Structure 1
Amino acid sequence: MRAPAAPSPARTLIVDLPGPELTPALGRWLRALNPGGVCLFARNMPTPGATARLVADIRDALERDALIATDQEGGAVLRRLDSPQPPTPQGLGVLGDEGAAFEAGALAARGLLELGINWNYAPSLDVNVDPLNPVIGERSFGADPALVARLGVAWARGSEAAGVLSSVKHYPGHGDTRVDSHLALPVVGKTRAELEACEWVPFRAAVQAGVGSVMTAHILYPALDPERPATLSPTLLGGVLRGEWGYDGVIVTDAMDMKAVADRYPGGRGAALALAAGADAVLVCGHGDQTLHDLHAAALDTALLDGTLDPARVDEAVARLAQAAARFPGSPRPYSPAQRDQDEAATARWARGALEHRGAVPTLDPAAPALLFAPETGELGGPYGDHLGLNALAEALRPVLPGLHAAPVEDAAAVQALLARFAGAPALLATTDRWAIPGATRALAARLAARPAPAVHLALWAPDAAAQLPLPALVTHGFRRAHLQAAAQVLTGVPAP
C-alpha cells in the first residue's frame, strides 16, 4: 500500500483575497494552491450575506474545515462594522474589569461566527510602554504588564468560549518601539531580564492559560537574536515559546508582506525561515495580488528541496492547523436579535464607563448653537482600515446637538466664519488621528482657549493628545458608535437616541 503523500508546504500559508466574491477562476486558484486558510479584510465584507457566502465558498473550494481569519480587535482595528463593535482594549483597561474583557472577546466572536469566521487575530497583548508607539496605542489594554495579562487572557478566553480561536499578539511585544513594522524593521534593545519583567508577562500568562494561537512580531531583539526578527528566530519561537514555556498551540506570523520582513528576505524566503523557526502558519497579504501567494508557495517548495525546511516540520505545522480547525470548525451560528441588543447595550455601558474628564468639561445646552472643528479626514496607515472624518462626527453628535455647525480645521476661512458668526457659542475641537496632532489643530486650540466661550477638546483616538492642547478634554478611548454616543450624552446630559 502506498503511503499517503506528505502535505504540501503551501498548507501552512494563510492568504488573502482581492474582494467579496470567490469567482470561478479565483476558486480554481485557491483549490490548486490549497493553503491552510484565508484572512479576510473589510474589502471582503460588504454585507453579512455576501461575507457568509464567501466563507462558505472558500470552504467548498478547499474541501475541508479551513481556518478563516480576520482582525476584529475592537476600536480602530475592526473589519466587520455592521455588528456590535467590541470596545478598544484601552477602554477596557480603564474599566479594569475581567468580566467585561471576557464578554468583549465573546461579543467579537459572535459577530464573526455568525459568518463562519473561526479565527480572530486578537487581542493585542502588547504592553503600551511608549505612548508614541505608531502601531499599538489604543490596541493595548495599558502600560501595566499585569493588567494587560489579566484582561488580555480574559478577552481571549471569552472569544474561544464563544467558538472563535483567539490569537494573542504580537509576541514577544510591540509596545516599546517608535518604528511601525509595516514600514521598517523595529529594533528593541532590551535585555532578557527587562523583557521578562514587562513584555513577556502577558504572553506567559496566555501560554499558561492555553490560548489557542500566538502571532509573532517582526521585531529584532538583539539581546536574544542579533540576526533575525522574532518571526524568523529559532531562539524566540522554538527556544523560548516552544521549549522554555512549553507552548503547543498554533504560532502564526504577522503578515510577511510587511517591510520589516519583505525588504530583508525578498522572494518569499522568509516563509521557510519562519516555519523552520517554529511557526505553523505563514500569513501573506497580497492585497489582491495572487502572485505574491504563489511566490511564497514556490519559495517553500524550493526550501524543501534544498533542505532549508524539514518535511517533518511541515507535517507538524499542518497537523496543528488541522487540530485548530477541528476544535473551532466555524459552523455559522445565528446571532439572535436579543443577543445583539444585549451586546449593543454592553458596548454603550463600557463606553460610558471608560470616559475620562481632564479638567472642567462644561455641559452644553442642547438647544443652543455649538461649533465643531476637526480634521476633514483622518490619516491612515499600519493596521487601521478606516478613520473618523468631520462629517461623520458631526452626524453622530447632531441628534443631541441639533444646532451644531462644523468646519474642518484645515479651512481657515470656514473656521473664521463660524467663530465670527457664533462668537459666544461653545466649541468642540476633536483629535481623530492616531499620530501627531496637526499644526492647524494646535493653532486653533490656542485660539479657542483665549475665547471667553467654553471650549472642549474631544480626544477621540489617542488619549495622550489630551495633555497636548490647552483645553479641558473629554477622553473617549475610541471613535466608534458607542464612544460618540457616550460623549454626546456627557456633553449635554441628554441620553443619545
Structure 2
Amino acid sequence: MSRDLYRLALAVLHPGFEGTSAPDWLRRALGEGLGGVVLFARNAIGAELVRELRAENPGVVVAIDEEGGTVTRLEVRSGSSFPGNRALGVVDDADLTERVGRQIGRMLAELDITLDYAPSVDVNANPANPVIGVRSFGPEPDLVARHGAAFVRGVQGAGVAACAKHFPGHGDTVTDSHLALPTVAASREELLARDLPPFRAVIDAGVRAVMTGHLLVPALDPDAPATLSRAALTDLLRDELGFGGMVVTDAIEMRAVAAMASPGEIAVRALAAGADAICVGVVTEDGLRELTGAVVAAVRDGVLPEDRLAEAAGRVRALSDWYAARAGLRERARADLDPGAGLEAARAALTTTGTAALDRAPLVVEVNTRLSQAVDPGTPTGITAALAALLPNTDLVRMEPGGELPDLGGPRADRPLVLVVHDAARHAWVRDTVEKAVAARPDTIVVDTGIPGPPAGAAHVATHGISRVSAQAAAEWLTR
C-alpha cells in the first residue's frame, strides 16, 4: 500500500472513540496522518484530552457538536450556558446571536477545538419534525439566514471554524435520520426559495465547513441521499452555491445511510459525490482499518479518482491551516468575557401568559418526552433545579412518555403545581396530559421547553429550548 495513498485516506476520516483518553490505536493513526477526531460528552472533554490528540498530530481537526440549547457536549450535565437556536430566533436580535456565537467559540477556543458542528441552518418548515425543532432558528428562511450568518460570524470571530448543517435542509421531514432515511418532498423551486437561502447566507458570511444531511431529496437526486449525491454536493453546493470550504458528512453510522451499504462503501460514495471528510461517530481500531482500506482499494480499482481524494484531503488541511492562522483571534477571544450573553438571550426569549407566580416550594411534574438522538441521554431540562435554588424543598415527580399523571390530591394538593413539558405542539399525548392536569388543578403552571402548544393553565411559560439559562430565566419569572 502506497504510504502517500494511505495518508490521503486517513486524512479524510474523522472518527469518534469511546473512553476519556485517546486509545493507543487512535494515537498511532494520528501520527500516521489521521485528519480529524470528533469528540462527544462520553469523552469527558477537556484541554488535556485535546493536548493528547495534538501531541500526535498538531494539525488534527478536532470537532464537536456545540450548538447551545439541547445539543451540548461540554455542558451536558449542567445544561448549556446558552439558549439554543429557536430561542435566539424568537428574540430576533442578530447582534445578540452573534454575541452568543462568539462566547460559544470562545469556550471552544479555550480547549483548542478546531471546528464546531454548528449552526443548524435548517428551516423548521414542518412542525412535526422530530429531530430539528428547537435546533432551528425558526420556520422562516429569512430569519434562519439572518441568524445563521450572525452565529457563524460570532464563532469564527473567536478563531474557531463553524459548520452549517444539514445540507440541503433537514427542516421539512418527519423522520429522524439517526433512525431511517427521511425524504424531502419539496420541488426544486421550493428548495431554492425555502431551504437554500440560509446556506447562501452562511456561505456569504465565510463559513468554513458545511455538513451534509442524510436526506433523500428527489428534486435533486431521486436515487441517492444528499450525502452520497454528486448532484447535491458538487453540482448544487459547489458549483451553484459557490462553496469552497470543507464538506463533512453527518455520522455515517446513522441508519439513514448505514442501512444502505457497508461503512467503507458509504465513505467511498460520499467522497466520490464531493464530501471531503467522513464523520464516524464511534469507531474501533478494526473499523478504522476497514474504512482506510476501503478508500485505498477504491482508488486502486478506479472507483474513486485519486485526484478527488487528494482534493478532499487538501480541503481538510486548508481548514486546519485556517485555524492555525487564527491563534491571535483566539487569544483575544479568551479575554473577551461576555458572561451575561446567554442569560440575557434566555430571558428575552421567554413567552409568557397568565399571572400566576410561586410563593412557596412547588411540586414539579416533569413529563419526560423522549428527545431526539442528537441530544445526549440525561440532558436535564433544569427547571426543577432552577426552582429548587430559589424555593428550597421543591419536590419532583418524573412521568415517563405515555405514562399517567401522578395523584395530585392528598398531601400534594397543598403545593403549587408546575408541569414541565416539551414540544406540546408536536405531541398530542403531551397536550392531553396538560389538559388533564389543568382540569384536576386549575392552578397548574405549565412550562414548555420546546415548541409550545396553545397556552394553558394559570400561567404558561415557553422557554423555546432546553438550557441551564433558559431554566433559570423561567424560574426567575415564576418567582418574580
Same fold (TM over 0.5): yes
Q: 2:231 aligns with which of 231, 235, 249?
A: 235
Counterpart residue number, 1:445 = 434
Q: Determine whether 1:16 maps to 2:16.
A: yes
Note the alpha carbon deviations across 1:122-156, whole angstroms, 9 max, x for none. Answer: 00000000121111011100001001001001101
Going from structure 1 to structure 2, the CA distance change for 1:57 and 1:459 (only over 3 Å counts) comes to: same
Deviation at 1:438, TM superposition (A): 8.4
Q: Which residue identity does 2:406 align to in structure 1?
A: V
Alignment check: 8 A CA contact 1:130 1:175 kept: yes
Alignment check: 8 A CA contact 1:431 1:437 kept: no
Q: Secondary structure at the match of 1:141?
A: coil
Note the alpha carbon deviations across 1:287-343, whole angstroms, 9 max, x for none. Answer: x53333222211111110111111111111111111111111286957999755x32
Deviation at 1:43, TM superposition (A): 1.2
Distance in 1 of aligned mates of 2:181 and 2:244: 28
Q: Determine whether 1:476 maps to 2:475.
A: no
Q: Determine whether 1:294 maps to 2:289.
A: yes
Q: 2:69 aligns with which of 67, 70, 75?
A: 75
Note the alpha carbon deviations across 1:226-278, whole angstroms, 9 max, x for none. Answer: 11111111111110111122211111111111111111122420111111111
Q: Secondary structure at the match of 2:409?
A: helix
Alignment check: 8 A CA contact 2:210 2:246 kept: yes
Q: Which residue identity does 2:84 align to in structure 1?
A: T
* More moved, 289-298 vs 125-134: 289-298
Distance in 2 of aligned mates of 1:195 and 1:415: 46
Deviation at 1:394, TM superposition (A): 2.5
Q: Which residue identity does 2:22 align to in structure 1?
A: L
Counterpart residue number, 1:370 = 362
Alignment check: 8 A CA contact 1:425 1:453 kept: no
Distance in 2 of aligned mates of 1:118 and 1:138: 25
| TM-score normalised over the length of structure 2 | 0.91
Q: Which residue identity does 1:242 align to in structure 2?
A: R
Q: Determine whether 1:305 maps to 2:292.
A: no
Going from structure 1 to structure 2, the CA distance change for 1:53 and 1:331 (only over 3 Å counts) comes to: farther
Counterpart residue number, 2:59 = 65
Alignment check: 8 A CA contact 2:70 2:80 kept: no
| TM-score normalised over the length of structure 1 | 0.88
Q: 2:451 aligns with which of 458, 463, 466?
A: 463
Q: 1:107 aligns with which of 97, 103, 106?
A: 103
Q: 2:250 aligns with which of 246, 250, 254?
A: 254
Q: Which residue identity does 1:385 align to in structure 2?
A: D
Q: Residues 324-363 of structure 1: matches in 2 within 5 Å?
A: 324-329=319-324, 339-340=336-337, 342-343=338-339, 345-357=340-352, 359-363=353-357
Counterpart residue number, 1:492 = 479
Counterpart residue number, 1:379 = 370
Deviation at 1:450, TM superposition (A): 2.5
Alignment check: 8 A CA contact 1:238 1:278 kept: yes
Aligned residues: 473
* More moved, 254-263 vs 421-430: 421-430
Counterpart residue number, 2:141 = 145
Distance in 1 of aligned mates of 2:334 and 2:200: 38
Q: Secondary structure at the match of 1:423?
A: helix
Q: Which residue identity does 1:250 align to in structure 2?
A: M
Note the alpha carbon deviations across 1:353-409, whole angstroms, 9 max, x for none. Answer: 00001x4141222xx34221113x56344211144558x543321122225232233
Q: Residues 273-284 of structure 1: matches in 2 within 5 Å?
A: 273-284=269-280
Going from structure 1 to structure 2, the CA distance change for 1:209 and 1:118 (only over 3 Å counts) comes to: same
Alignment check: 8 A CA contact 1:232 1:274 kept: yes
Q: Which residue identity does 2:362 align to in structure 1?
A: A
Q: Determine whether 1:93 maps to 2:81.
A: no
Q: Which residue identity does 1:480 align to in structure 2?
A: S
Q: Which residue identity does 1:373 align to in structure 2?
A: V
RCO higher in structure (CA 8 A, sep ≥6): 2
Q: Secondary structure at the match of 2:419?
A: strand
The alignment-based identity, stated in percent, is 37
Counterpart residue number, 2:443 = 454
- Structure 1 gap ranges (5+): none
Q: Determine whether 1:55 maps to 2:43.
A: no
Distance in 2 of aligned mates of 1:282 and 1:217: 13
Going from structure 1 to structure 2, the CA distance change for 1:160 and 1:443 (only over 3 Å counts) comes to: closer
Q: Determine whether 1:36 maps to 2:27.
A: no
